[in-house]
Amino acid sequence: MATTEEQAERTVAAVDFLTVTEQAAIASARWLGRGDNMAADQAAVDAMRTALGEMPITGTVVIGEGQKDEAPELYVGEVLGTGGMPCEIAVDPLEGTSLVARGDSGAVAICAIGAPGGMMSAPDMYMQKLVVGATARGRVNIEAPIAETLEIVARCYGRAVRDLTTIVLDRPRHEQLIEDIRAAGARIRLIPDGDITASLSVAVRGTGDHLYVGIGGSTEGVITAAALECLGAEIQAKMWPRTDEERRKMAEFGIERPDRVLTTRDLAPAPRYVVATGVTDGGLLKGVRYFADGARTHSIVMDLVGNTVRFIDTVHLLSPTLIREIRL
């Protein structure tokens, strides 16, 4: 039998974490279009926590469902696993709860794994973000006017600004930003929720999306950074405090200046893996499909250690009886 030290030295492969997001997706997709955000989210949380609890890791949650007094499961600081590889975990068991409740597109279950100290522990508040793919990495500046940024990204892709597609969360706070993008001549895809999914779409060439910009959640920003590091893309971010309490919270997390530009490496200095499974259909991942005795999932596994990105189509045989056929 392996000793505790030997267990800790074993590296758990990226693909081994696939079941974590698959199970969360399968559980939450049952609530598609049923109008219950809370039930969909709870189903994902329960399934993800169970799966992480069975992993041979000693994993500390750094981005989760909230603080210990706010969330009974997957709270920040919770330690999960049966013991083994030490790591940090950043999770969003269901990004896009309202998307699932409405039966809308773009919801995913996502989990990021980093080395100890590998992901920033961020206060849960708003964050201004700019995301570009590898083609424009190192060329943009979040503090520049959006028209200038669009011109730079267009040059990087060898096309006109009018050929770019910019993703923006459809929120009242973005009214001026949307006007400025339209005035510059770029196309806009407004999304109701799901800025992690939007950022992944920007990072993967061929989706037709070229940049994501706007204000969203800071915890989603950390998970996004881990994924973008695996994909060679870039996020720049600035905290967006609205109250003195949020400014105090920033200071507690070691962020003294709200105007400090946070880079991909600031947010995720040492990520290992990021795994995401589609819950509802999106531009990058297909949603869960159920059949009489099982389900089918579509996932992306990003492995910075092995330098691979895998798209995985999985058929889950949930019936105790033997399946006679597998269909395309």
What CA–CA distance (Å, rounded) separates 308 from 323? 32
Looking up residue 85, the CATH number of its domain turns out to be 3.30.540.10
Looking up residue 253, the CATH number of its domain turns out to be 3.40.190.90
- In this structure, the answer to whether residues 156 and 206 fall within a common structural domain is yes
Our count of domains for the chain comes to 2
Please state, in angstroms and as integers, the Cα–Cα distance from residue 89 to each residue in 60, 108, 248, following that order.
6, 17, 25
Q: 143 is in which domain, residue-wise?
A: 126-269
- In this structure, the answer to whether residues 138 and 73 fall within a common structural domain is no
Angle in degrees, CA 66, 97, 22, rounded to 5: 90
For the chain, how many residues are written?
A: 328
Q: Which residue stretches of the chain are H helix?
A: 4-9, 18-29, 37-53, 97-102, 146-157, 175-184, 195-203, 218-231, 244-252, 264-267
- In this structure, the answer to whether residues 142 and 177 fall within a common structural domain is yes
Please report, in tens digits, the pLDDT of each residue of the chain (328 residues total). Answer: 455 554 455 689 999 999 999 999 999 999 999 999 999 999 999 999 999 999 999 999 999 887 665 666 898 899 999 999 999 999 999 999 999 999 999 999 999 999 999 999 888 899 999 999 999 999 999 999 999 999 999 999 999 999 999 999 999 999 999 999 999 999 999 999 999 999 999 999 999 999 999 999 999 999 999 999 999 999 999 999 999 999 998 888 888 888 899 999 999 999 999 999 999 999 899 999 998 889 999 999 999 999 999 999 999 987 766 655 666 6
